[in-house]
Amino acid sequence: MKDKNTVLAWATIIMIFVGIGTIALGAFKYDEVAGYGFAAVGIGFLAVAWVFNALKGRV
């Protein structure tokens, strides 16, 4: 079983990839208003990943 810091590290890495992916979808695939929504969700994923990274060692 992995400890909490390893789980938070993996969650951070996965959320960074998903956040960058959704920002890329919003930037390159959708040229309408939906692109702004994808970019906003991607920024939200990166913000949550930042919080997970800050929690490492404190949980």
pLDDT tens digits, one per residue of 31-49: 888 889 999 999 999 999 9
Q: What is the CA radius of gyration of the chain?
A: 14
Show the domain range for 27: 4-55
pLDDT at 22: 94
pLDDT at 1: 63
Burial degree of 9 (CB within 10 A; 0-12, 13-18, 19+): middle
d(CA 37, CA 19): 12
Domain total of the chain: 1
Q: Label residue 2 by pLDDT band (50, 70, 90).
A: confident
Task: Please determine, for residue 14, whether its predicted confidence score (pLDDT) is greater than 90.
Answer: yes
Which stretches of 1-59 are DSSP H helices? 4-24, 34-55
**Greatest CA span in the chain, whole angstroms?**
45
pTM over 0.85: no
Task: Please determine, for residue 5, whether its predicted confidence score (pLDDT) is greater than 80.
Answer: yes
